[in-house]
Structure 1
């Protein structure tokens, strides 16, 4: 499983990725809006990588792409896809190492995955959800063509507090509109 862009390779996780996964998931700013706790141990990262390596992207459930910088060959983040049982819909999520944020890598990676899901696999709909306080995340979703479909007030209990969730959706027809104008 390999997707490429001008600057990135999206591939299966490898055992060597556990250290970088643990590093960026440990960063408090990265973990702030996520379900995992910081610090994220190397043991947790190894287990996560093993699970990701065993996942099948063509079967319902979560599959995570490791995001690698082509020029440097460095693992910088991940994009997850949760394929629904009907294989026509999926949910997407993403995480990027803090020092790699703000350079367009996450947008590039998400667009590559969306292109694969919609253009190649023929999915009808992709959804995403994010913490309403995570401005960078919802701006990325909107930049890649997602439409905000809902705002759930105090819908999630995360790290000792109630948080609002933003719900986003992207239909096949929306994606092709974005793809031809980007």
Structure 2
């Protein structure tokens, strides 16, 4: 599976992605609102990459897109899509290397995935959730047209504490713009 934007290629994971994945997922700031703990050892990253590489973007369940910068062909993050059994709904999540944040890469990557899900594949709904303290992710989702549909008070136990979760949804009829022109 390959998606392309002006600056990015979203592709299947490869074995050589283990070291850069371990690097960005080992950053405590990147891992803060995620389910894993930093650091991520190289052998663990290699197992994760193998698992990601085996996934299917067309079948129900999770599929992880590797986000690669065209300019220097380096892995800078990932976008995960969990396709529902009915193939008309999905959930998504995203992670971007700390030093690559603030340049619009996450918005560009997520928007490209949304364009594919709603455009080519004809999905009806995509949902996402994030830790309520993760204001940057919530802002990105809103900028891409997601509507905050709820708040789960202390809905998750993460890294030894109860956290609030923001719930977002986006319908195909809500799409306002393309991946290549995020507001």
TM-score of the aligned structures, taking structure 1 as reference length: 0.97
Question: 4+ runs of 1 displaced by more than 2 Å?
Answer: 177-182
The answer to whether 1:71 aligns with 2:68 is no
Distance in 2, Cα, partners of 1:62 & 1:136: 23
CA distance in 2, matches of 1:25, 1:33: 11
Are 2:89 and 2:124, in contact at CA under 8 Å, matched by a contact in 1? yes
**Structure 1: 5+ residue stretches without partners:** none
Return closer, same or farther for 1:60/1:98 CA change in 2, 3 Å cut-off.
same
Q: Distance in 2 between matches of 1:106 and 1:144?
A: 11
Give the Cα separation in 2 of the matches to 1:17 and 1:97.
13
Instruction: Determine the C-alpha separation between the residues in 2 that align with 1:178 and 1:68.
Output: 22
1:89-120 deviation per Cα after TM superposition (whole angstroms, max 9, x unaligned): 00000000000000000000000000000000
Structure 1 CA distance for aligned equivalents of residues 65 and 108 of structure 2: 13
C-alpha RMSD over aligned residues: 1.2
In structure 2, stretches of 5+ residues that fail to align are none
Query: Secondary structure at 2:57's aligned position in 1?
Result: coil
1:178 CA displacement? 3.8
Counterpart of 2:37?
Answer: 37
| Residue 85 of structure 2: aligned partner | 85
1:12 aligns with 2:9: no
Higher RCO, 1 vs 2 (CA within 8 Å, ≥6 residues apart): 2
Where 1:169 maps in the other structure, the secondary structure is strand
Superposition pairs of residues 33-182 of structure 1, within 5 angstroms: 33-175=33-175, 177-179=176-178, 182=183
